[in-house]
Amino acid sequence: MSGSKPDSTFYVIAYDIPSDRRRTKVHKTLTGFVQWTQYSLFEGWLTDKELVALQGKLEKHLAPEQDSVRFYPLCKACIEKVETVGSEKPQERKVFIV
């Protein structure tokens, strides 16, 4: 898992949000910070500052009594042991404007 930034931690971020509207907003917010890897799962490198900024943006879209977003930090040794079994992971569409 390359792409680490200095002073950053690798996070797996999972969410459970019943509302389509809130789930879409959370998905778009996460996409601005980390990589979409499964339907309700993102992963990527975040500095402490980025983590705080991301959590602040997410809070604006969540209904705390119904929604859950979890951040799992992984150590370097754990990242190296990550395995994927099954289909390719989801890909965000990339738009290029010329």
pTM over 0.85: no
Q: State pLDDT tens for residues 58-89.
A: 999 999 999 999 999 998 889 888 888 887 65
Which long-range contacts link 41-46 to residues 24+ away (Cβ below 8 Å)? 41/12, 41/13, 41/14, 42/12, 42/13, 42/14, 43/10, 43/11, 43/12, 43/13, 44/3, 44/10, 44/11, 45/3, 45/4, 45/5, 45/8, 45/9, 45/10, 45/11, 46/8, 46/9, 46/11
Residue 81 has what pLDDT?
87
Mean residue pLDDT across the chain: 88
Give all domains of the chain, ordered by start, each with its CATH number: 8-79 (3.30.70.240)
